[in-house]
Amino acid sequence: MYAAEAPPPRPATTVPGLARLKREGQPIVALTAYDASFAAVLEAAGVDLVLVGDSLGMVVQGHASTLPVTVDDIVYHCRAVARGLRSALLVADMPFGADATPLHALEASLRMLKEGAAAMVKIEGAGPKLETLRFLVEREIPVCAHLGLTPQSVHRLGGYKVQGREAAAAEQLKRDALAVEAAGASALVLECVPSALAEAITRSLAIPTIGIGAGSACDGQVLVLHDLLGIGGGQRPRFVKDFLAGGGSVEGAVRAYAEAVRSRRFPGPEHAYA
């Protein structure tokens, strides 16, 4: 295999740079990746943020949920992905249980940043997690929060369901979003929430929101790479689009996704929840 000539470097995406993109109204393009080869494709396509998600438990390891993923798994895949990146911001998912206490979360985060070369960690939930979020930020570890459908709560939620449809639940999500921002989160993933709710939350925050199944009004979008490429069986969520079907190649599919997000053609109304 022969290496293609590297394109000229682009400015690196930084944690403060995410907030700048929001202020300037430039949609943030995010995708998951789990190895160096796919990371290089995302880098070449101009993806802003690459997430080593605990989704690897399902799409790479073949588990039924994200719960079996370990800190060792995340660190290993971060190291691999980092080798394929030059400008994209690398974010590491905090696995289930690794943030059980602030000290546990600190230990895991240090490994992700020092061994895995991540620049930010992602933590699901608010409530008791706010102490942990604040604890990490006070120790110079950038945090991306994650609200709405939080896959690590699959058993408590009773499955992968849209969150925030009832008035009380919507108000709680709004309060939680403001709380994670106040605790120091630098960004917020909103997963599977009604698009009107996601828009209201996005307008209420200074930090950027990154949606997945949360409509087009978020400041950015993220998908699991395997979903974007149409890989994997089972019923696909409505927020997923197979970009490989019209992209012609893996890199073409990623570029098509990036262009669709930046032009706000994706997600469309057919990918959103009411």
Condensed to tens digits (0 to 9), the pLDDT of residues 171-196 reads 999 999 999 999 999 999 999 999 99
Q: Which residues contact 226 (CB under 8 A, 6 or more apart)?
A: 32, 59, 232
Q: Does a structural domain hold residue 118?
A: yes
Q: Alpha-carbon torsion 118, 123, 128, 131, what sign?
A: positive
Residue 170 sits in which domain range?
Answer: 15-271
In order of 41, 74, 221, 252, 268, the CA distances from 248 in angstroms are 14, 30, 22, 6, 21
Q: Does a structural domain hold residue 4?
A: no
Q: Does a structural domain hold residue 9?
A: no
In whole angstroms, give the CA distance from residue 216 to residue 127: 27
Instruction: Say how many residues make up the chain.
Output: 274
**Low-confidence residues of the chain, pLDDT below 70?**
1-8, 233, 247
Q: Which two tokens stand for residue 194?
A: 């009604």
> Residue holding tokens 């828009």?
199
Q: Active-site residue among 43, 181, 191, 199?
A: 191
Give SS3 for 90.
strand
pTM of the model: 0.94
- Percent of the chain beyond pLDDT 90? 88
Residue 104, amino acid: H
Nearest to 223 by CA among 238, 201, 207, 234: 238
CB 90 within 8 A of CB 36: no
Domain count, the chain: 1
Q: Does a structural domain hold residue 114?
A: yes
In whole angstroms, give the CA distance from residue 146 to residue 272: 18
- For 131, phi then psi, to 5°, come to -60, -45
Q: What is the CATH number of the domain that holds 140?
A: 3.20.20.60
Q: Looking at residue 159, what is its pLDDT?
A: 79
Query: pLDDT for 57-89, tens place per residue?
Result: 999 999 999 999 999 999 999 999 999 999 999
Beta bridge partners of 222: 30
Q: Looking at residue 6, what is its pLDDT?
A: 55
Give SS3 for 154.
helix
For the chain, the farthest-separated pair of C-alpha atoms sits apart, in whole angstroms, at: 57
Q: Does a structural domain hold residue 99?
A: yes
Q: Looking at residue 9, what is its pLDDT?
A: 72
In order of 172, 196, 197, 272, the CA distances from 165 in angstroms are 11, 10, 9, 13
Q: Looking at residue 5, what is its pLDDT?
A: 55
**Catalytic status, residue 199:** no
Q: Does a structural domain hold residue 95?
A: yes
Nearest to 216 by CA among 265, 162, 171, 157: 265
Beta bridge partners of 187: 144
In whole angstroms, give the CA distance from residue 111 to residue 161: 32
Q: Does a structural domain hold residue 6?
A: no
Neighbours of 2 (CB within 10 A): 4
Q: Looking at residue 232, what is its pLDDT?
A: 76
Q: Does a structural domain hold residue 265?
A: yes
CB 71 within 8 A of CB 99: no
